[in-house]
C-alpha cells in the first residue's frame, strides 16, 4: 500500500455529530479532503446547512440533537437511507456549562452528561449492528484535556470527558472481534467558538492556558481534523482503544 492509500478515506462515509462548527466542522472538512462523504449532524439546522454548503457535494447536512436518545434509531435509519452505510462515526457534539459547584444545578450537570455520554452511547449503540453487518467500522470520540487533568468550574464536563476514557476502552475491547475500532482524539485548547465563549473576558484564564501550553498558542481546528482522519484511516488499522492527545504539549509540559 502506498502512503496516499494508507491515509485515504475514499469510498468511506462518516457521520459527525456537532459537525457544523469548530472541531466537528474541521473533522468534516479534513475527511472530505481525504475522500470521504460526510454527514454533518448538528442541533442547529442553519449551522449544518451552511457547513455542508461550504464543503460541497460530499457533505450532507442533517439535524439531530444527540441528547434525544429516543430518536437515535430513527436518525440512524434516516442517515442510512441517504448514504447506504456509515463507516466512521465521530461522537463530537458537545456542550459546556461553566459554574462553581454551588451554583451548578443537578439538571445542568445532567444536561452535559446527556449530550457527551448518554447521547454518544445511544447513537453508537444504534449504529453498531450496521457496522457489524458491514464487517467493521471506526468510532471516534472527541475527548479533552479534561479527560486527564482537573480544570475548574466545569464539573459536568470533567465527568463526561473522563467517562469517555472508560467507554473508549470498554467498547474497543468489546467490538474488536467485529472489526470495529474505537478511539478518541483529546484536543488541548483549540480556537473554536466554544473555547472563545468559555474564556471571553477572562484574560487570567486565557493566560493560564497559554502558560501551560509549551507551544504557547491555541491549536487550530484542522490539527484535530487531521488526527481524526488518521485514526479513521487504513494507516491506523491496528489502533484501537487509544486516545490521541493533540495539545501543543499541554499535558506533558509546564
Ligand atoms: N475547543 C476546544 O478547545 C476543545 C477542547 C477539547 C474538547 N473539545 C470538544 O470538542 C467538541 C466540539 O467542540 P467545539 O470546540 O468545536 O465547539 P463548538 O461550539 O464550536 O461546536 C459544537 C457543535 O456541536 C453542536 N451541538 C451542541 N450540542 C449538540 C447536540 N445536543 N446535538 C447535536 N449537536 C450539538 C453545536 O450546535 C455546534 O455546532 C466538544 O465535544 C468539545 O467538548 C473542544
Ligand atoms: O477554562 C478552560 O479550561 C476552558 O473553559 C475549557 O473548559 C474549555 O472550554 C474546554 O476545553 C472546551 O473548549
pLDDT digits (tens, 9 = 90+) for 46-101: 999 999 999 999 999 999 999 999 999 999 999 999 999 999 999 999 999 999 99
Residue 24 and residue 93 in contact, taking contact as beta carbons nearer than 8 Å: yes
Q: What is the pLDDT of residue 41?
A: 98
From 160, 189, 221, 246, the mutation candidate for ligand 2 (largest count of ligand atoms within 8 A of CB) is 189
Measured in angstroms, how far is the CA atom of residue 195 from the centroid of ligand 2? 6
Q: Where are the domains of the chain?
A: 13-245
Taking only the tens place, the pLDDT of each residue in 197-243 is 989 999 999 999 999 999 999 999 999 999 999 999 999 999 999 99
Q: What is the pLDDT of residue 245?
A: 98
CA–CA separation, 23 and 214 (whole Å): 21
Tell me, what's the ipTM?
0.95
Count Cα atoms within 13 angstroms, Cβ side, for 216: 0
In words, the CATH class of domain 13-245 is alpha beta
Task: Please indicate whether residue 97, judged by its CB atom, sits closer than 6 Å to ligand 2.
Answer: no
Task: Please indicate whether residue 154, judged by its CB atom, sits closer than 6 Å to ligand 2.
Answer: yes
From 199, 200, 208, 250, the mutation candidate for ligand 2 (largest count of ligand atoms within 8 A of CB) is 199
**Ligand 1 atom at minimal distance to the Cα of residue 195:** 1
Residue 138's φ and ψ, nearest 5 degrees, are -135, 125
Count Cα atoms within 13 angstroms, Cβ side, for 9: 31
Task: Classify 67 as helix, strand or coil.
Answer: coil
Written as one string, the DSSP assignment of 176-236 is GGGTEEEEEEEE-SB-SHHHHHHHTT-HHHHHHHHHT-TT-SPBPHHHHHHHHHHHHSGGG
Task: Please indicate whether residue 23, judged by its CB atom, sits closer than 6 Å to ligand 2.
Answer: no
Q: Which residues have C-beta atoms less than 6 Å from ligand 1?
A: 17-18, 20-24, 42-44, 47, 64-67, 92-95, 115, 142, 144, 187, 189-190, 192-195
CA distances for 195 relative to 65, 126, 156, angstroms? 21, 30, 16
**Ligand 1 atom at minimal distance to the Cα of residue 219:** 3
The C-alpha cell 459547584 sits at: 101
User: pLDDT-derived band of residue 254, with 50, 70 and 90 as boundaries?
Assistant: confident
CA distances for 239 relative to 11, 56, 69, 234, angstroms? 20, 31, 29, 10
pLDDT of residue 160 exceeding 90: yes
Residue 239 and residue 13 in contact, taking contact as beta carbons nearer than 8 Å: no
Catalytic annotation, residues: 157
Amino acid at each position: 500500500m502506498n502512503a496516499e492509500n494508507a491515509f485515504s478515506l475514499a469510498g468511506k462515509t462518516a457521520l459527525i455529530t456537532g459537525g457544523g462548527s469548530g472541531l466537528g466542522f474541521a473533522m468534516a472538512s479534513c475527511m472530505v479532503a481525504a475522500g470521504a462523504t460526510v454527514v454533518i449532524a448538528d442541533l442547529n439546522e442553519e449551522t449544518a446547512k451552511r457547513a455542508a454548503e461550504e464543503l460541497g457535494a460530499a457533505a450532507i447536512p442533517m439535524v439531530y440533537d444527540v441528547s434525544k436518545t429516543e430518536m437515535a434509531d430513527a436518525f440512524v435509519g434516516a442517515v442510512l437511507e441517504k448514504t447506504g452505510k456509515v463507516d466512521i462515526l465521530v461522537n463530537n457534539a458537545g456542550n459546556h456549562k461553566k459554574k462553581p459547584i454551588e451554583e451548578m444545578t443537578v439538571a445542568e450537570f445532567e444536561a452535559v452528561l446527556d449530550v457527551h455520554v448518554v447521547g454518544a452511547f445511544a447513537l453508537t449503540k444504534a449504529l453498531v449492528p450496521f457496522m457489524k453487518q458491514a464487517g467493521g467500522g471506526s468510532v471516534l470520540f472527541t475527548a479533552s484535556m479534561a479527560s486527564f487533568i482537573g480544570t475548574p468550574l466545569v464539573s459536568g464536563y470533567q465527568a463526561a470527558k473522563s467517562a469517555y476514557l472508560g467507554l473508549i476502552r470498554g467498547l474497543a475491547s468489546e467490538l474488536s472481534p467485529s472489526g470495529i475500532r474505537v478511539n478518541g482524539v483529546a484536543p488541548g485548547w483549540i480556537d473554536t467558538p466554544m473555547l472563545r465563549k468559555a474564556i471571553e473576558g477572562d484574560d487570567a484564564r486565557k493566560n493560564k492556558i497559554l502558560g501551560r501550553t509549551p507551544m504557547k498558542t491555541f491549536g487550530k481546528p484542522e490539527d484535530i481534523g487531521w488526527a481524526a482522519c488518521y485514526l479513521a484511516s487504513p494507516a491506523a488499522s491496528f489502533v484501537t482503544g487509544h486516545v490521541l492527545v493533540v495539545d501543543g504539549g499541554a499535558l506533558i509540559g509546564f
